Chains A and B, each alone.
Chain A
Amino acid sequence: MQALAREVEAWRSQLRKGSLELAVLLSLRREPRYGLELVEILNARGLGVSEGSIYPLLGRLRAEDKVETEWVDPGAGHSHKYYRLTRRGRAACESMLAAWREFAGAVERVIGDRP
């Protein structure tokens, strides 16, 4: 039973990895945000993102020209590196969202087949 729980947990982890990029792009749709802010938003939604994982992903998104960055110093306190969607990032977000819905819908239909 413990082995099964481990396997399911590994599968959940894969699901999280697969959907993190879409979740980050979606969270940037309305306004620019910085790394810790993104982690907090995603975890408030129950996604279970670890703090460290976000920065290599954001780095890759920047290398792929899906986000652009700007350091903002609010005066008092820490300055933050904000990420904003580029046009390419917005287009990627829309296509990934469409693919996600299609896929989730298909899985839901299979679930509905259950006797």
Chain B
Amino acid sequence: MSELPEEVEAFLVDLEKHLSPLPQAERRDIVAEIRSHLAERAGQGAGDLLAPFGTARAYAAAFLEERALETALAGGSSLAIGRALLRGARRIGWWYTVAALGLVQLLGAGLLALSVLKVFLPQRIGVFVGTGVFALGAYSGEAPAVEILGWWAIPVFALLGAAALWSARWMLRLLAGWRLARLRPALRA
């Protein structure tokens, strides 16, 4: 095997490092294949060998995330999409974003649950207003408070809950689609 320039060797070491979530055999196989490719291109007298590969991290991500994101998007569950998004996340912002969207989903599920509970506990569920009191959901405080929604609590909570669930899911799918598009930049522009 011919000698490869130092920066190419460094790229291959980096690539293997960034492929670390994959099993060792698969990782080594990918690196050996790219090495063989680059060695042949070097033998052809190619100039900038690494230009078509981008950074080692981005290139590794194409192997790691594309499959995970595609599977999650096809499956459609918010949990799967969130996990796929976090799988390759290197920036803390992704964790905050996915966590925030997860909280919005929990909130949505909670509101839906409240709209059902209202049927069984009409006195306790709703929007309560009193002196120094404003409570949304279930209220069991000491201070006197008046429930202002009445039976409207059922459609209001149901709609708000559905809107929260739907919008968080929509955002997750949007982010996953965007990431997937970013992962496939390797085709010549």
Residues of A within 8 A of B (CB): 9, 13, 16-17, 20, 34-36, 48-53, 55-56, 59-60, 63, 71, 77-81
Contacts and interface: CB of A to CB of B under 8 A. Distances in A.
Given A78-B36, A78-B39, A78-B40, A55 B187 contact: no
A49 B53 contact: no
Given A49-B188, A52-B186, A81 B59 contact: no
A48 B52 CA distance: 12
Contact of B66 (A9, A13, A56): A56
23 contacts: A13-B187, A35-B37, A36-B40, A36-B41, A48-B188, A50-B186, A51-B41, A51-B53, A52-B52, A52-B53, A52-B54, A52-B186, A56-B62, A56-B66, A59-B67, A60-B66, A77-B43, A78-B2, A78-B36, A78-B39, A78-B40, A78-B43, A80-B36
B67 A63 contact: yes
Chain B interface size, as a band, is 20 to 34
Question: DSSP class of B's interface residues: helix, strand, loop or mixed?
Answer: helix
B52 A51 contact: yes
Nearest to A36: B37
Contact of A56 (B32, B43, B63): B63
Nearest to B22: A59
The secondary-structure label for the interface of chain A is helix
Interface in B11-48: 29-30, 32-34, 36-37, 39-41, 43
A97 to B, nearest CB: 21
Nearest to A35: B37
